[in-house]
Structure 1
Amino acid sequence: MLTERLLLTPPTAADVPALASAVYADPRTWALDPSLRRPPEELPGFVARLAERWARDGAGCWVVRLRPPPGDRHDEDHGGGRDGEVIGLGGCDLPGEGRAWNLFFRLAPAHQGRGYAQEVGRAGLAAAQRVRPDLPVTAFAAEANIPSRRTIERLGLAEAWRGPDRRSPDPGAVVVLSADRPLPAALLGRLVR
């Protein structure tokens, strides 16, 4: 899929080395949310699960690459990276029992703050709406991760719950769950347990 500035492709095992070096090797990726850390030995399994969800659901998380501006030649540097460069992961996928879409984005620190998370988020929301509009779209972000929380809010999701972040190594960490619609109590309970 193409957006204004990005090429979004379903993840494959061939993407693991680029994701490892561009995104997950840089500690700044998870500085505001330690639960986002993904050790190199876990990355192949993580990418395989994302690929399986794509096959199962017909939508999911993309590998995010830069694309050339219209009319430009390929393989040029446009001030933020080279065309085709892997800069992250993002989109909406259906984890677990598939009761709600999960919107997320992980971008290489060098490419944060340029609106790419908004761009991939909009594409993910559109894909979720096209494939399973009956399911809510949710997003988790560490309370301390203000940039991600602002992006989630700009994408139209509103805070639905706030509580202990069981994913975090910090026992005092708080996570915020946002959603594109009110969540039934039973579903909210499943999502935050």
Structure 2
Amino acid sequence: MSNRLTWMAYGIVLVLLAVLFVATMPLTGDARELWLKEWGIVEMASALGYAASILLLIFRRHALILWPFTVMITFFMLREMDLDKQFTTMGIFKSRFYISPEAGLVEKLAGGAVLLGLVVTGVVILRRYTRPFLSGLRTGSAVAWGGLLAFAGLVAAKSMDGLPRKLDALGIDLSEQATLHAGAFEEVLELGVPVFIFLALMAYLRHRWA
């Protein structure tokens, strides 16, 4: 995929995500459950998007060469499927998991090992790829900008998570309808992340940071 085609794909994805969000706004009842709730269509599409990125790396024989991204993308996929709390007493990313007497020592050690592995992987990514990433942003690299779009989507989605609770702490009461829209927006943002990762990987595997 050429640099120009990748940019076009980014634009199309942004438009489609906006259309999807608008389409979810009037949904209610079972239709909303089907599309937006846990294990709904949007969430499963997100997980499949991460799986597609992993398969792309494997088939192009870059899964080991780009192992930090393989690890991180695999984590995102498993997190999207809520596997971080399927086999433990509570989610391993909750601080109270490590101090709660409800969680056993083995669980805590396993959760800590996962966290440590993610931290190490993140450090490796920062040390190896920060310079080419910043250089790519300056030169208009579709790879770098695709990575930025994915990262921005992650940050924005995280900021939307539990938005009513966060705003309530500031004395702002979010209406029920606005809360529903915020949840839908979060799910749509999370769907965009693996799509941008996949497109950026395709551009990288073809042209590296060009």
Taking structure 2 as the reference length, the TM-score comes to: 0.26
Structure with higher RCO (Cα < 8 A, 6+ apart): 2
Structure number having the greater strand percentage: 1
Taking structure 1 as the reference length, the TM-score comes to: 0.28
Structure number having the greater helix percentage: 2
Q: Which has the larger radius of gyration?
A: 2
